Every structure is written in structure tokens, then in C-alpha cells.
Copies of this chain bind each other. A is one copy, B any other.
Amino acid sequence: MKILVVGANGKIGRHIVRHLAEEENVTVKAMLRKQEQIEQFKHLDVETVIADLEAEDGVFKASQDVDTIIFTAGSGGHTGADKTMLVDLDGAFKTIEAAEKHNIKRFIMISALHSDTPKNWKEGMEHYYTAKKRADERLRHSHLNYTILRPGWLTNDEPTGKIEARLNLGKDGSITRQDVAMTVVKTLHLEETFYKTIEIINGDIPIDKALTNIN
């Protein structure tokens, strides 16, 4: 299994790469935007590739030798809504298109809780949720074996290894970025998560168990 992590230098991305590097029978390819970002991945057993998600064929070329893609790229809060359009929306669309063209076997999307329920959107972030909503929809309309993970409010707290995972949580909640990353890794092979959109927050149930009992 060879996995491209799109957004590998992001706050969740770095945790994902680190966890995947410890997995057996997995080759990790970290997609990075800048040369100087390679340094921090050098101590890990991972490949790196420099590619610009905003370029026309950046992710297409970067993904041609992998069978799985994890999309965790985002323009973040420090840039404008123009970058939300170019990265969170269009970057996701391009990555899904690349996956379709390369017949990628598995696609994990890191989305956001509430993306499909505008009434729950935080004021001033409507454009962000819209980007996530439309990217997720594009993925669901593809023929890819996808899992869309929708974490609640993200924190940098220590991981607990325990979550609550539902197709429809019906409530708010937070989750540590490290727990999101571990959930991504567990999700990769778990058939119970195939073709599902799953909402996750920290909870009382070990990640494995929570994911095998989704409803």
C-alpha cells in the first residue's frame, strides 16, 4: 500500500505521516509545497514530493504511483477566502480528479463537522464550510472507495485514543488533532467505514471499536 498524504505539512497531516510511517506494509509519500518543509520529515521512513496543489497538474503527477490518497490540505485561517477557493475547494476537486484518472483504490477526506448543515455554521466561516460541503459532495459522486471524516472543533491537546463516531452525531464537540490522525490510520483498511461520511469528536470509545460500530 502506497499512500499520498496531501497537506502532509499541515497540523493534522504531520501526525498522519508520523503514524503511517510506523505501520507495516505501508509506504508513505508526503506531498509538500516547499523544499524547506522536507527537513522535518527526514528522520521518518517516508518519501516526500514537492507539488503545488494550486498548479494544474501538481497533485496529478504526485499521485501517479500511489494507490491511496489522504486529503488533509487546507489554506488555514491565516489566508483569505481566495485561498479557501483555490486549496480547500479546487485543490480537493483536483485531487479527486487525479484519483479517478489513476484508478486510486482508496480516498480518505478530512472534512469538518456540520459541513452539510448551514444552520450550524460558525458566522464568518460560511465560505469554508461551503468549500468542504462541495468537495465532499464531489467525492461522494465519484466512484472512489471513500471515507469522509468530519471532526469537530480541533485542539492540540494530548490524544486520548477514544472517540465518538456517528453518521450523525447531532451535537457539537471537540477532538484532538492527534486523535483525528489516529482515526484516519484506523480507517484505511476498515470496511465498515467504506463509502461513509463519519462525524467524530472525542468520546469514551476506543477508536477501533467506535469505527466498527458506525451508525
Kindly list chain B residues whose C-beta atoms are within 8 Å of the C-beta of A84: 81-82, 85
Determine if A172 is an interface residue (Cβ-Cβ < 8 Å). Answer: no
CA distance A80 to B82 in the complex (A): 8
Kindly list chain B residues whose C-beta atoms are within 8 Å of the C-beta of A82: 81, 84, 126-127
Given A80-B80, A80-B81, A81-B84, verify A90-B134 contact (CB < 8 Å): yes
Contact A89 B89 (CB under 8 A): yes
Cβ of A69 to closest chain B Cβ, rounded Å: 19
Contact B86 A126 (CB under 8 A): yes
Kindly list chain B residues whose C-beta atoms are within 8 Å of the C-beta of A131: 85
Determine if A76 is an interface residue (Cβ-Cβ < 8 Å). Answer: no
**Whose C-beta in chain B lies nearest to the C-beta of A117?**
B56
Given A56-B118, A118-B56, verify A89-B85 contact (CB < 8 Å): yes
Determine if A194 is an interface residue (Cβ-Cβ < 8 Å). Answer: no
**Whose C-beta in chain B lies nearest to the C-beta of A118?**
B56
Determine if A195 is an interface residue (Cβ-Cβ < 8 Å). Answer: no
Cβ of A152 to closest chain B Cβ, rounded Å: 22
Cβ of A48 to closest chain B Cβ, rounded Å: 25
**Whose C-beta in chain B lies nearest to the C-beta of A56?**
B118
CA distance A196 to B194 in the complex (A): 37
Nearest 8 CB-CB pairings of A with B = A81-B81, A81-B82, A82-B127, A85-B127, A90-B130, A85-B130, A85-B85, A56-B118
| Extra contacts besides A81-B127, A85-B126 (9): CB < 8 Å | A80-B81, A81-B82, A81-B84, A82-B127, A84-B85, A85-B127, A86-B127, A90-B134, A93-B134
Residues of chain A whose beta carbon lies under 8 Å from any beta carbon of chain B: 54, 56, 80-86, 89-90, 93, 118, 126-127, 130-131, 134
